[in-house]
Chains A and B, each alone.
Chain A
Amino acid sequence: MTVAEVVAAPGAMTTRGALRWPIREQSADSFALHDLRGRGRRQGRIVTQGQPRPLWADAAERQLNELLALEPGWDGYRAREVADAAVETTVELLDRFMDEAVEFPDLFPLSDGGIQIEWHADDVDIEIEVSPEGDAFVLATGPDDALLAEGELFGPESSLHRRDLASALHTFLARLAAAAR
């Protein structure tokens, strides 16, 4: 059994991850977001429980901590700070879809506190919009704007099977391989 563990520094707010993760179908690995907000900053650490640390974990941890460090108004307008739930869902998505063959995606903050995950290779575009509440919406298109995958990944509104996104990633990798030849 895998359990999501959340550790908060003394006086820090706890994240909602411990409450949300068990509701979802569990994946092979489990991760914890250690919230150090009580020390004046928000910082997460990806930990595995009884599993080898994935190769992508260092890059993810570094980039997500950069996003967690953004202050409100980071876009020069009225952006909110990146939400804990968005970080947790991003880690969960990476856990499910990353492997040694998949290029690490770009991670971008969204002005509403969400995170966008993107893979682009020529005419293949995969975007996952993670909301501040931790929901995830996928839009993946291929050559001639053909729809490869679209829909909500989690929760009662889920309309996308994970294999559709996996298939879109396969198309992305094929396009990358073709470009390399």
Chain B
Amino acid sequence: MPVPGDQLDIPDEEVLYRRLSDDSPNMVTIDKATGLRRPSSGAFKPDEDGISVFRDSVLRKRELSAEVLADRSLGQLIASIRVGQVRQGDMGVRDDPWPPGVPDPSHPKWEAHALIVGFEQLSKNDRIRKQRLLASQATLH
């Protein structure tokens, strides 16, 4: 069953990007037993309206790459996840271009801004489990 707010015309194959920091602040955790690195689930804590992400296809239409999202000199990383993976976790995605109150609001990247939704009325346990799912499935770049 579709999640309320999920925009079904966004295909499962669409890649979503979220900027993370690997330094100041570090948002990447290292498994103490395996040494594997992955984003902290805290990096996917939703705001009131959802989790901010950027759509790969819209960035490409503006002839931008995901690299515009991160300042590598500041240790910033990009996490990517496919819309299909988001939907498998009972979450959805909707466009949210040109959001207000962001730094550098006229940058063309903001046309590609979207939100991962589906956290409304969840218990803390269920919300954190969804955050964990996103963190575990995201790929760091």
Q: Are A121 and B29 in contact (CB under 8 A)?
A: no
Q: How far is the CB of B9 from chain A (nearest CB, A)?
A: 24
- Chain B positions within 8 Å of A78 at CB level: 47, 101-102
* Binary B-proximity of A140-181 (CB < 8 A = 1, otherwise 0): 000000000010000000000000000000000001101100
- Bound form: Cα–Cα A150–B127 in Å: 13
- Bound form: Cα–Cα A75–B42 in Å: 12
- Chain B positions within 8 Å of A139 at CB level: 124-125, 128-129
Check if A116 is an interface residue, CB within 8 A of chain B. Answer: yes
Q: Are A121 and B27 in contact (CB under 8 A)?
A: no
Q: How far is the CB of A102 from chain B (nearest CB, A)?
A: 11
Q: Which residues B98-141 have CB closer than 8 A to chain A?
A: 101-103, 124-125, 128-129, 132
Contact residue range for chain B? Answer: 20 to 34
User: Between A and B, how many residue pairs show CB distances below 8 Å?
Assistant: 85
Q: How far is the CB of A75 from chain B (nearest CB, A)?
A: 7
- Bound form: Cα–Cα A75–B77 in Å: 11
Check if B85 is an interface residue, CB within 8 A of chain A. Answer: no
Check if B65 is an interface residue, CB within 8 A of chain A. Answer: no
Q: Are A75 and B19 in contact (CB under 8 A)?
A: yes
Q: Are B40 and A118 in contact (CB under 8 A)?
A: yes
Q: Are A116 and B32 in contact (CB under 8 A)?
A: no
| Known A-B contacts A127-B41, A150-B125; A108 and B27 likewise in contact (beta carbons under 8 Å) | yes
- Bound form: Cα–Cα A110–B128 in Å: 12
- Chain B positions within 8 Å of A76 at CB level: 19, 69, 76, 103
- Chain A positions within 8 Å of B19 at CB level: 75-76
Q: Are B47 and A108 in contact (CB under 8 A)?
A: no
Q: Are A66 and B24 in contact (CB under 8 A)?
A: yes
Contacts A/B (CB < 8 Å), 14 sampled: A76-B103, A77-B52, A78-B47, A106-B26, A110-B42, A112-B45, A116-B40, A116-B45, A118-B42, A129-B42, A137-B128, A139-B129, A176-B33, A179-B33
List residues of chain A with CB under 8 Å of any chain B CB: 66-67, 70, 73-78, 103, 106, 108-112, 116, 118-122, 125, 127, 129, 137, 139, 150, 175-176, 178-179
List residues of chain B with CB under 8 Å of any chain A CB: 19, 21, 24-27, 29-34, 40-43, 45, 47, 52, 69, 76, 101-103, 124-125, 128-129, 132
Known: A74-B25, A129-B42, A129-B128. 15 other contacts (CB 8 A): A74-B21, A76-B76, A77-B52, A78-B102, A106-B29, A106-B40, A108-B29, A108-B42, A110-B45, A118-B40, A119-B32, A120-B33, A121-B34, A127-B42, A127-B128
